[in-house]
Every structure is written in structure tokens, then in C-alpha cells.
């Protein structure tokens, strides 16, 4: 395992030597609150820690579980290094059970693992008409797939792929008013079109209960980095914390937890580690022909409308390539289910307020070249496949891409290949 000191020296430096033959674009950035290196170092230890039942770091709680999706943060966030994205192996299965009027009656996560076989969650616990599967593959939950499960009419299953965390501190520093301004700008540009229509790229800022705007998560369900981290610790690892209790097994909704596993200080340490991760970079080849190809692709990216939603900057954060708004993406990309179920002590969405099944926050494209697979559930193995899957408000741009000449398509894909993850060493982990 790479020592904590060695990895941390890479992360807190934030600026590494640029590889020969690569030119790195420079941007102005907002000024987030400075990260305490000691806090972030302690958070790194927690991030790579493999949690166990009755874990000595769990403050007297029950540690890992009782149900969970992984044993450490880095088990999922590992490509190309700690804090990055993840492959299909750690996809999370979500579900929605709807009322007769179409509103969700129940929603949540089908956890992949349990400490006790009697607590293991299965699809049949979501609805007895579903099979007793524990960890369905992506192909089993994709509508239209040859291997798709026979969903009951009022049940919807979906999956979530692990997003990268690089640059999260810059996103956290963006004021809510800037995201709301994006929403208003898009509406004005398209004649006050509603965000509910699916023909023009007009997104909406997700107003969360309590008045804040969502910034993090596939459906913008978390308003800040701290909330996002705490929700992930609870849902993915079963680590109860001040804002999120550990999930109760689907088969035992009366399961009694054993208190908090993470203190507020530990949560703040984990958040500090994520906040200290470097931002992604835009690397243009120095070799003139390849550089010209990428720059031409950037112009094509703007010309066909990709930048309408994947905007190059939000406020003072340049190179993010996202408007951080929710957009309806069409029937093919429907995916319901709540990954970050609001804490029990907070109000929940009223009918019609929350993100609908076809709405997704525009994922930032910075670092996209190092974050395959793509889309919310990882269904696209390549960037070209990901573009073709775009529907709803993105269908027009995807259609324009399909009509480009092959050289122009290669130029655009070449530009996307310049959007790289930062240089962070990989931690060897079990």
C-alpha cells in the first residue's frame, strides 16, 4: 500500500510536474475555504480504511453495515486514483414503488451485501413479484435489454455508477444564485420555455427542502459537499452519522441501530480530504497536428449545442463543462430511486418538487476521459456511445453529432480526450 504520507504529499501539493509533451490550460477559480492539511490527512485515513463490524474507528457504533455496498470509500472511488470514479462492479441498485397516482410510495437502495445472511436485501423484498436476486447486473435492469427483469407496472429499478470527486471543493464554493442564474439564462434564451418540455435545453435548479440548491449527485440531491459525503457514508457503508442514520435492512424495517459510527469531526475530516483533491485538467498535446485536432473539436462541441448544457464555466469555475441543472433526458434514460434519501429529521419533497425519473443533473465533463463507463448507470462504454444515448433535451445535439462527418466526430471526441483527471497516485487496497 502506498503510505498515507506519500499519497497525501501528492494531494495537498495540487500541482504536479506536467508530463513532457503535454500543455495544461490555466483557469481562474473561486476561492473556497482553505483546507486544513491535518484534517484532510485524517480524512484520507478514513477514506482508504476498510471498515469492519465493531470497527475500532466507529466510536462504539456497530461499524460496517448491517447492509452496505462496499467496505471502503476507495473501493468504489478508485480510477484513476483515490477520489476518482468506479466501474460497473460497484453500481448501486435503486428502486421506486409507485402509488396509483404515479407518486412514489417507497424508494431506496437494494444494498449488495449484509453482515448477516438473514439481513441480505433482495429484489423480492422490494416487490414479491420480482425474483430473489441480490446483485442484479446492469443488463438485468435496463429496459429493453434481452435480459431485462419483468418489472411490475408500479415498480421501477435503476442503477447508479460511481462519480469522480475531483474538483468537488470548487463546485461546493459556487453560490446558489449563480446556478439559479444559469436556469434563468437558459429560459430567456429559449423564449421562457419550461424546463418540463423536452425539445430545448432548458434546465432547472433543484430547490431542496430548506431552500438550498442541489449541486452534488446524479440528481443534484445534495446541496453541499459535507451532506453528500455523509449521505454516501450512511448509504454505501452503513456508517450512521449526525445527518444520516445507517439504512435499515429492507426485510427488517424495525432493525435497531447501535448509535452513530462516525462523529461530526470524522465526517468533517472525510469532507476535508475530498475537498483537497485536485481539480481535473484540460491537457492539450504540444504536437501541433494533435493540438489543432483537439481545438477544432472544441469548436465543434460548441457549434452543435453540447455546450448549451455542458457549459464551459459556472460562475468563476472554468473548465467544468456543466450547468449543474436538471434536464429531462428522455424515456430511454429514465432512472428513479433515491440514493441520498433525505435524513429523517429534514422535510421531504412535496409531490412534483423533487427530480423526476427522466431528470439528471448535467454531469461535469472535466476529467471525463478518465472516468469510463459513462451515463448515470455506466451503460456507455465509450464517449461516442454516451453521446448517442442522449435523449430528451439533449436529443437535438446528439442528432447533430450523428450528422457530422467522421473527421468532425473524431475532432470532437479528441477534444473530450483532453479533459483529464488530475495526477493522483493510486492507492493499492484490498
pLDDT tens digit string along 140-170? 998 776 667 888 888 989 999 999 999 999 9
**What pLDDT was estimated at residue 201?**
95
**What pLDDT was estimated at residue 152?**
87
3-state secondary structure of 109: strand
* Percent of the chain predicted with pLDDT > 70: 87
Contact 215, 223 (CB under 8 A): yes
Measured distance between the N- and C-terminal CA atoms of the chain, rounded to whole angstroms: 9
**What pLDDT was estimated at residue 26?**
47
CB-count burial class (<10 Å; 0-12, 13-18, 19+) for 360: buried
Q: Which residues of the chain have pLDDT under 70?
A: 1-30, 101-104, 145-147, 339-347, 351-352, 424-430
Pairwise CA distance, residues 98 & 414, whole Å: 43
**What pLDDT was estimated at residue 248?**
93
Task: Please list, in sequence order, all residues whose beta carbon lies within 8 angstroms of the beta carbon of residue 245, skipping any fewer than 6 positions away.
Answer: 234, 257, 343, 344
Contact 110, 250 (CB under 8 A): yes
CA distances from 19 to 28, 155, 288, 354, 401 (A): 22, 50, 17, 44, 32
Domain ranges of the chain: 4-420
3-state secondary structure of 34: coil
Amino acid at each position: 500500500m502506498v503510505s498515507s504520507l506519500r499519497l497525501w504529499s501528492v494531494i495537498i501539493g495540487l500541482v504536479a510536474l506536467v508530463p513532457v509533451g503535454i500543455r495544461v490550460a490555466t483557469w481562474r477559480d473561486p476561492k473556497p475555504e482553505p483546507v486544513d492539511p491535518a484534517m484532510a490527512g485524517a480524512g484520507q485515513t478514513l477514506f482508504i480504511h476498510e471498515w469492519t463490524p465493531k470497527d475500532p474507528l466507529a466510536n462504539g457504533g456497530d461499524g460496517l453495515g448491517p447492509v452496505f455496498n462496499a467496505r471502503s470509500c476507495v473501493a468504489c472511488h478508485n480510477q484513476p486514483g483515490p477520489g476518482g470514479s468506479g466501474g460497473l462492479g460497484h453500481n448501486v441498485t435503486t428502486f421506486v414503488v409507485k402509488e396509483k397516482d404515479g407518486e412514489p410510495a417507497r424508494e431506496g437502495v437494494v444494498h449488495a451485501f449484509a453482515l448477516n445472511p438473514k439481513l441480505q436485501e433482495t429484489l423480492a423484498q422490494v416487490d414479491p413479484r420480482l425474483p430473489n436476486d441480490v446483485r442484479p447486473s446492469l443488463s438485468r435492469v435496463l429496459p429493453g435489454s434481452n435480459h431485462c427483469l419483468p418489472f411490475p407496472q408500479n415498480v421501477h429499478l435503476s442503477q447508479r455508477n460511481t462519480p469522480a470527486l475531483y474538483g468537488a471543493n470548487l463546485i461546493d464554493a459556487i453560490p446558489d444564485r449563480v446556478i439559479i442564474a444559469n436556469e434563468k439564462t437558459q429560459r430567456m434564451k429559449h423564449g421562457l420555455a419550461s424546463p418540463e418540455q423536452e425539445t430545448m435545453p432548458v434546465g432547472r435548479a433543484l430547490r431542496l427542502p430548506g431552500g438550498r440548491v442541489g449541486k452534488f449527485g446524479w440528481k443534484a440531491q445534495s446541496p453541499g459537499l459535507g451532506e453528500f459525503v455523509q449521505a454516501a457514508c450512511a448509504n454505501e457503508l452503513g456508517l450512521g452519522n449526525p445527518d444520516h442514520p445507517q439504512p435499515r435492512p429492507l426485510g427488517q424495517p424495525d432493525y435497531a441501530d447501535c448509535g452513530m459510527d462516525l462523529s461530526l469531526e470524522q465526517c468533517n475530516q472525510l469532507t476535508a480530504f475530498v475537498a483537497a483533491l485536485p481539480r481535473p485538467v484540460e491537457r492539450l498535446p504540444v504536437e501541433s497536428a494533435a493540438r489543432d485536432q483537439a481545438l477544432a473539436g472544441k469548436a465543434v462541441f460548441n457549434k452543435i449545442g453540447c455546450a448549451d448544457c455542458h457549459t464551459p464555466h459556472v460562475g468563476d469555475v472554468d473548465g467544468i463543462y456543466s450547468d449543474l441543472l436538471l434536464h429531462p433526458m428522455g424515456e430511454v434514460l429514465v432512472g428513479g430511486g433515491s440514493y441520498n434519501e433525505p435524513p429523517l429529521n429534514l422535510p421531504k419533497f412535496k409531490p412534483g418538487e423533487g427530480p423526476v425519473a427522466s431528470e439528471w443533473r448535467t454531469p461535469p465533463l472535466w476529467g471525463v476521459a478518465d472516468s469510463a463507463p459513462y451515463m448515470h448507470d455506466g451503460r456507455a462504454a465509450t464517449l461516442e456511445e454516451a453521446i448517442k444515448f442522449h435523449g430528451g433535451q439533449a436529443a437535438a445535439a446528439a442528432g447533430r453529432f450523428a450528422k457530422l462527418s467522421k473527421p468532425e466526430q473524431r475532432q470532437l471526441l479528441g477534444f473530450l480526450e483532453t479533459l483529464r483527471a488530475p495526477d493522483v497516485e493510486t492507492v493499492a487496497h484490498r
